[in-house]
Structure 1
Amino acid sequence: MTHTLISPLDMHLHLRDEAMLKVVAPLSAHSFVGGMIMPNVVPPITTIEAVIAYKERIMSAIGNNVFEPLMTLFFRSDYTREFLEKAALHVKALKLYPSGITTNSEGGVASMDIEVLRSVLEAMSDLGLILCVHGETNGFVMDREKEFGSIYESLASAFPKLKIVMEHITTKESVALLDRYENLYATITLHHLLITLDDVAGGMLQPHLFCKPIAKRYEDRDALLHVSLKAHPKVMFGSDSAPHPIHKKECCGCAAGVFTAPIALQALVELFDKHNALANLQAFVSNTAQTIYGYKAPYKEVVLEKTPFVVTHSYGDVVPMFANETLAWSIKYVV
């Protein structure tokens, strides 16, 4: 049995930089035709020159693979309209991080006061730039995304022409917002479709499943599954694949991030097949994203087959999700 995906896209991807970039970029570029590249490298991507230089490093790292990096800027409240007009030639979106909320986000937004953000968000709305948001407060870890919901509502109401992507949503409350505001969209990860907090910390602690936002309850996972499996028109795949070296995962003070890039499509096909929803996977991993972003992806054909795939223990110094386990599907070939 085989299943073909056309031009799969990863709309939330961390490629890091330098040595790590050279390890992980070819893994995404092999099976995906493009990815929305997150800007929270060190230092963060805040200038047009930095965007261009980072894209060049990515293109160098991916080798002969057909892959288009969709670049983003690290959101700052002091960007001018003139700057954003020039940036719009090079980026698809700006990524807003509340300060200190996740990896390399210390330079993020300190205040979510709409009046502080207004000039940038109005300019983005006029220019057709999309706002991507890591939506968490600094509250109790299981409630952070839920608490951020009121901020999403304020942003959606104040800037109705601005497309806002709620990144890597994890709660049933975030899912409910999709049908309440025309300009709210979302990415959903592979790992949040599969795991709950029980898988992370219910028994022995599993550092390679620890991420931010943290995995939530069963009812939250079920809500994510429901909209993904039925190809909700405002939901798209974004892996949030976030590589960290082993010594930063298997340690005290474990870094947050699940590395799924090399196994994402195999695991997604297995999941959708299990739920008799393979017909909707094409929309989830490509078509919906192209519609939301008004983007025409390059052509790439990925053929998967229902034969066992044994996941390697590590790629370089990075351990993937399902390391040493066997998935039911594998990639047969890529055109």
Structure 2
Amino acid sequence: MELEIIQPDDFHHHLRDGDALPSVVQHAERYFSRVIAMPNLKPPVRTLADARAYHDRIRSHSQGKLTPLMTLYLTDETTPEEVQEAQESGLVYGVKYYPAGATTNSQMGVTHVDKVHKVLEVREGRRCSYRCMCLQCNAYIIHIQIFISYVHYVIHIHTHTYTQCMQAIQLPLLIHGEVTDPSTDIFDRESLFIDTILHPIILTRYPHLHVILEHITTIHAVEYVMNSPYPNLAATITPHHLAYNRNALFQHGVCVHKFCLPILKREEHRRALVMAATSGSHKFFLGT
């Protein structure tokens, strides 16, 4: 019996760089149509110019069948203008949130969620100030004829220079969801991130933000995504976390090839991931 499927997409892929790039690109092209290309290179993909350059390097080793979807590496210094420029380019499909120190090449990542508030928020200060100006004109009826053309002129100028941020432009935030406090048990990092950062800060402040909680590993993450009231929250799952539990790390000694971050969890968590992956829910998809 032969089974044919549509060539899948991989929405979390590390294509590497340098000497490793050609072989990884060719391997990805063999199995996938599109891949979300992770930006944690050395140096990271921080700007649209970086993304264009990396995109060109990827395509130079491709046979033309693989479509790389680029991402930016979010830092404390990333500006709203850089994010909007990237989104408007048609080349960048997401912004990656690495908590600083959480995983490979994440040292330049986000040190605290408040540092990236300017990128996530919807900035409406300019518009609000000129709406107030217009209301003030309405309050002084006698001056409407004198000021109305001027007010409309000012509003016209500033609405065209207005910078919208990620929630407004619907550019997904791709999150490595682990806390980095060294006092936190490594097996609890994901759940604690959900409880202390993702839910009370990110999704509560930005309820319409498109958020992908990447490579989830726990029952808590599955249940949170499955039952979340936030319609734009989803998650990726890796084959690694579907296939193994944490016992695999210690079979015949320490098995370094089974180690990854987020780390493997108990069997009950693996089963929950399998349930989510096979549930038919559109909230869960492949990210290898």
TM-score range, shorter chain: 0.7 to 0.9
Q: Deviations over 1:6-43 (max 9, x none)?
A: 13001000011011001211001111001000000000
Q: What is the deviation of 1:61? A: 1.3
Contact 1:26/1:65 (CA < 8 Å) preserved in 2? no
RMSD, aligned CA = 1.2
Q: Distance in 2 between matches of 1:201 and 1:152?
A: 31
| 2:178 corresponding residue in structure 1 | 136
In the alignment, residue 172 of structure 2 is paired with which amino acid?
I
**Offset of 1:83 from its aligned partner?**
2.0
Q: How far apart, CA to CA, are the structure 1 residues paired with 2:229 and 2:104?
A: 29
Which shifted more, 217-226 or 82-91? Answer: 82-91
Residue 219 of structure 1 is matched in structure 2 by: 268
Whether the 8 Å CA contact 2:217–2:265 is kept in 1: the answer is yes
Q: How does the TM-score come out when normalised to structure 1?
A: 0.68
- Is the CA contact 2:76–2:111 (under 8 Å) kept in the aligned structure 1? no
Structure number having the greater helix percentage: 2
Residue 126 in structure 1 maps to residue 168 in structure 2:
yes
Which has the larger displacement, 213-222 or 194-203?
194-203
Letter in 2 for 1:172: I
User: Between Structure 1 and Structure 2, whose CA radius of gyration is higher?
Assistant: 2
Report 1:31-46 matches (<5 A).
Answer: 31-46=31-46
Which of 183, 195, 198 in structure 1 is aligned with 2:244?
A: 195
Q: 1:254: which partner in 2?
A: none
Instruction: Point out where structure 1 has 5 or more consecutive residues left out of the alignment.
Output: 240-335
CA-to-aligned-CA distance 1:107-141 (integer Å, 9 cap, x gap) = 0111123xx32210121111111000001112211
| SS in structure 2 at match of 1:6 | coil
CA contact (8 A) 2:76 2:109 kept: no
What is the alpha-carbon distance in structure 1 between the residues aligned to residue 73 and residue 252 of structure 2? 37
Which residue matches 1:153?
199
Number of the residue aligned with 2:140: none
Is contact 1:77–1:120 with CA below 8 Å preserved after alignment?
no
C-alpha displacement of 1:202: 4.4
Contact 2:110 2:116 in 1 (8 A): no
Distance 2:78 2:58 in 1: 25
Q: How is 1:91-106 mapped onto 2 (pairs within 5 angstroms)?
A: 91-106=92-107
SS at match of 1:92: strand
Which aligned pairs between 1:280-295 and structure 2 lie closer than 5 A?
none
Runs of 4+ with >4 A deviation? none
Q: Is the contact made by 1:185 and 1:234 (CA closer than 8 Å) also made in structure 2?
A: yes
Q: Deviations over 1:199-257 (max 9, x none)?
A: 11244221111100010001100110001012221000000xxxxxxxxxxxxxxxxxx
Q: Which runs of 5+ in 2 are unaligned?
A: 122-164
Q: Secondary structure at the match of 1:119?
A: helix
